[in-house]
């Protein structure tokens, strides 16, 4: 301290502080950081917009040319073959839509039934020694690339199923040859592709149910299993439903594995010959049609347009499903959790 503040008698007072609260730090980085980060975020958002807009824009021609018949009629494979040489071809995506719908719903059924049991086991019943290894293998399953699922399906599931095709199929079902690579093979393979995904979401939402609900059930003399099914599952329902919806979104977009195992013929499966033939009918999904034809066909304007029609439907479906999952969680979840902030 400088000496002018030493007053008579030797006592020292502090210098009057000079504080300027308006002083600003003037590092260049301070001014650059925020706009730069903002630019990153906006760029990411813009990319989203470009992808969505591009796909919908280029899908317009096929819908304006064909309108409803594009999704309501049933000729795809021959149309694609003709499109290489003919100038004017009418495409019908109905078999592809049927293929996507059937494989998705079938796989959803299997993976929800199996996955729910598995999730209950993991979240509530499993002893630690079994839970950890099972969680690890399910994570492993989630990491296996779809093409590998296709490969295993093709060399294990398909031969197995081809032995199960009814012997008289060749005589009875005259429209189409029935083989092991079929709707059923597609469903089996797809089930195990979306299963780890559903199980993870389901386990999370079961664990998120407040412990006090479970304790309350047990203390009333409701047994363990009934407490799970009557109290815990309903409380976890929004999360479970959202998980199922997101699993559907995954399933409809699966291309490679299904093109390998599901028969790859655009055909609307029919039960008119008898239900026992139905699972062995071949299908082709929208996503596999894109990946199978898109490699080379994109240079043909007609095929280009038709494939964009498919891509737009897939995109629309996945957008709707994502938004649906979001709404389920926020609306239903909020209704269930009403006032829990205070009481739990």
Task: Rank residues 141 and 176 by Cβ distance to other proteins and give the closer one.
Answer: 141
Task: Rank residues 15 and 45 by Cβ distance to other proteins and give the closer one.
Answer: 45
Task: Rank residues 249 and 273 by Cβ distance to other proteins and give the closer one.
Answer: 249
In the bound complex, what is the minimum distance in angstroms from residue 271's beta carbon to other proteins? 27
In the bound complex, what is the minimum distance in angstroms from residue 8's beta carbon to other proteins? 37
CA–CA gap between residue 95 and residue 98 (Å, rounded): 5
Task: Rank residues 42 and 109 by Cβ distance to other proteins and give the closer one.
Answer: 42
Q: Give the CA distances from residue 8 to residues 12, 14, 16, 215, in Å, rounded to whole numbers and listed in that order.
A: 9, 14, 18, 76
Contact indicator for 284, 76 with CB cutoff of 8 Å: yes
In the bound complex, what is the minimum distance in angstroms from residue 200's beta carbon to other proteins? 12
Contact indicator for 205, 122 with CB cutoff of 8 Å: no
Task: Rank residues 81 and 326 by Cβ distance to other proteins and give the closer one.
Answer: 326
Task: Rank residues 75 and 135 by Cβ distance to other proteins and give the closer one.
Answer: 135
In the bound complex, what is the minimum distance in angstroms from residue 151's beta carbon to other proteins? 5
Structure tokens at 208: 């998120």
Task: Rank residues 271 and 298 by Cβ distance to other proteins and give the closer one.
Answer: 298
Q: Give the CA distances from residue 199 to residues 115, 187, 191, 192, 316, in Å, rounded to whole numbers and listed in that order.
A: 5, 17, 12, 11, 25
Candidates 207, 232, 243; CA nearest to 135 is 207
What does the angle CA 302 – CA 269 – CA 110 come to, to the nearest 5 degrees? 110
Contact indicator for 212, 344 with CB cutoff of 8 Å: yes
In the bound complex, what is the minimum distance in angstroms from residue 13's beta carbon to other proteins? 26
In the bound complex, what is the minimum distance in angstroms from residue 251's beta carbon to other proteins? 10
Helix pair angle (233-253, 286-297), 10° resolution: 30
Task: Rank residues 2 and 343 by Cβ distance to other proteins and give the closer one.
Answer: 343
In the bound complex, what is the minimum distance in angstroms from residue 276's beta carbon to other proteins? 24
Map tokens 């950081």 to a residue: 33
Helix-strand-coil split of the chain, %, nearest 5 = 75, 0, 25
In the bound complex, what is the minimum distance in angstroms from residue 172's beta carbon to other proteins? 27
Contact indicator for 78, 86 with CB cutoff of 8 Å: no
CA–CA gap between residue 38 and residue 32 (Å, rounded): 10
């Amino acid at each position: 301290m400088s000496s002018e503040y030493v007053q008579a008698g030797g006592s020292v007072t502090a210098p009057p502080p000079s504080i300027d609260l308006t002083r600003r730090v003037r590092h260049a980085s301070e001014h650059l950081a925020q706009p730069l980060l903002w630019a990153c975020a906006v760029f990411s958002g813009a990319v989203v917009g470009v992808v969505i807009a591009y796909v919908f824009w280029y899908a317009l021609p096929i819908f304006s040319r064909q309108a409803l018949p594009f999704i309501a009629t049933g000729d795809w494979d021959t149309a694609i073959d003709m499109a290489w040489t003919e100038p004017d071809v009418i495409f019908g995506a109905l078999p592809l839509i049927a293929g996507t719908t059937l494989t998705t719903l079938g796989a959803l059924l299997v993976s929800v039934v199996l996955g729910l049991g598995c999730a209950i086991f993991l979240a509530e019943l499993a002893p630690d020694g079994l839970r950890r290894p099972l969680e690890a293998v399910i994570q492993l399953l989630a990491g296996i690339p779809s093409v590998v699922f296709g490969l295993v399906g093709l060399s294990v599931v398909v031969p197995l199923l081809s032995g199960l095709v009814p012997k008289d199929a060749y005589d009875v079902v005259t429209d189409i040859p029935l083989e092991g690579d079929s709707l059923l093979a597609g469903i089996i393979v797809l089930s195990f592709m979306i299963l780890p995904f559903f199980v993870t979401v389901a386990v999370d939402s079961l664990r998120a149910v407040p412990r006090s609900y479970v304790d309350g059930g047990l203390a009333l003399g409701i047994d363990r299993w009934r407490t799970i099914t009557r109290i815990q599952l309903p409380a976890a329902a929004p999360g479970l439903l959202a998980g199922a919806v997101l699993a559907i979104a995954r399933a409809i977009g699966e291309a490679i594995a299904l093109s390998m195992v599901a028969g790859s013929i655009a055909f609307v499966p029919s039960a008119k010959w008898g239900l026992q033939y139905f699972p062995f009918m071949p299908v082709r999904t929208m996503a596999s049609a894109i990946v199978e034809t898109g490699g080379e066909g994109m240079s043909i304007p007609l095929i280009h347009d038709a494939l964009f029609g498919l891509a737009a439907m897939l995109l629309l479906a996945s957008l709707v499903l994502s938004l649906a999952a979001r709404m389920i969680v926020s609306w239903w979840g909020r209704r269930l959790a009403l006032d829990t902030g205070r009481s739990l």
